[in-house]
Structure 1
Amino acid sequence: MHPHHLREAIANTPRVAVYGTLKQGFNNAHWLNGATLLGSDVTKALTLYDIGPYPGAKWQRSKGVTIEVYQISIDHLAQLDWLEDYRIDAPSEGEYDRQQITTCFGLAWVYLYNPSVTGKTAIYESGWRMPNISNVQQRR
């Protein structure tokens, strides 16, 4: 049985918007197996930053970030919360915070990078490309 906060979150917003390693063709896309891809959208509400082997998004206007929007289950949401180190009881303490974003498919959850991006490079193109990194073992 899932905790009440997950049941409530998925009932209110059963979608997630992804912009990095969870997108189709990237190394974490398998976390969305069984979810329904609704399609792509472009949001100008976010700026991506190069964190290294994965990107991080911040609320900051941009020329546009390409996102994929999925219809998800409560199991997907629980797994993504774990993957993104989202902490329901202390959202600012995890690596990512889960917040809502408006998409052309309706509201969706999006994971925003919590640490400072000082010294990180903003990604001004429409999307992020996976760097050629070998032997990287991490959650992402």
Structure 2
Amino acid sequence: MKHLVAVYGTLKQGYSNHHLLDKACYIGPDTLASLTLYNLGPYPGALPKPSDGVRVEVYAVNDSLLAMLDKLEGYDPEAEKKSLYLRKRIQTCHGLAWIYLYNRQVQSRQRIGDGNW
């Protein structure tokens, strides 16, 4: 496992896409005050804006699992402007981790104040 990934939505334990992380190694939780979470309906989106904190789970994943997560999140490194999410590095209490940041406008979306979707 070479990459740390911080997840905040459907990939978290108990949610619909968590099964994709079955072969990942759970590292632990964190709360990231450098992000703000928005309700996008069937899933959330985070933006790099200060808040009271977004609750994440951090996992260690290999290259192939990271590529699968890129596909799930609609991230294309060759066409970032068209990507639904961007994969960026963020500091967590477990070290630097990849996180998927929403790549669209959120004016009409509800902010999730407690940071837990």
Equivalent position to 1:55, from 35, 44, 68? 44
Give me the identity figure in percent. 48
Larger Rg over CA atoms: 1
Equivalent position to 2:64, from 65, 70, 75? 75
Deviation of 1:92 (Å): 2.2
Contiguous gaps of at least 5 residues in structure 1: 1-9, 129-140
Matched, 1:96 2:112: no
3-state SS, counterpart of residue 127 of structure 1: coil
**4+ long deviations beyond 3 Å:** none
CA contact 1:42–1:67 (8 Å) conserved in 2: yes
Normalized per residue, the structure richer in strand is 2
Matches within 5 A, 1:100-119: 100-119=89-108
CA contact 1:91–1:98 (8 Å) conserved in 2: no
Contiguous gaps of at least 5 residues in structure 2: none
AA aligned opposite 1:126: G
The TM-score, its normalising length taken from structure 2, stands at: 0.96
3-state SS, counterpart of residue 46 of structure 2: strand
AA aligned opposite 1:125: D
